[in-house]
Amino acid sequence: MKAQIIQIGNSKGIRIPRLVLEQCDLGNEVELEVHPGELIIRPADGSRHGWAQAFEKMAQYGDDKLLDEEGTSTEWSRKEWKW
């Protein structure tokens, strides 16, 4: 399917037919991903989809521990870090 790029104020955009929007189930907010020569549009809510289940699984296997123990610091953070 081809679409024309149109002027929208100081920007440009495309009109996405209603049927295409319904088929893609995009909703009101999208995430844009740019690659050389292409633009990918996907639903914005998909970026963290499944995180809750992944975190639950991590907790079951004990993989949810902090990498740095609280209160530990490096020489750099003791001497150089300023609040």
What pLDDT, on a 0 to 100 scale, did the predictor assign at position 46? 62
Domains, the chain, ranges and CATH? Answer: 5-78 (2.10.260)
Model confidence pLDDT, tens digit, residues 1-46: 889 999 999 999 999 998 988 888 888 888 899 999 999 998 887 6
Could you give the CA distance from residue 59 to residue 1 in angstroms, rounded to a whole number?
46
Model confidence pLDDT, tens digit, residues 34-83: 999 999 998 887 667 788 899 999 999 988 877 766 666 778 877 887 76
Could you give the CA distance from residue 62 to residue 11 in angstroms, rounded to a whole number?
49
Verdict on whether the full-model pTM lies above 0.75:
no
Q: Are 46 and 31 in contact (CB under 8 A)?
A: yes
Which residue from 7, 5, 42 is spatially nearest to 25, judged by alpha carbons? 42
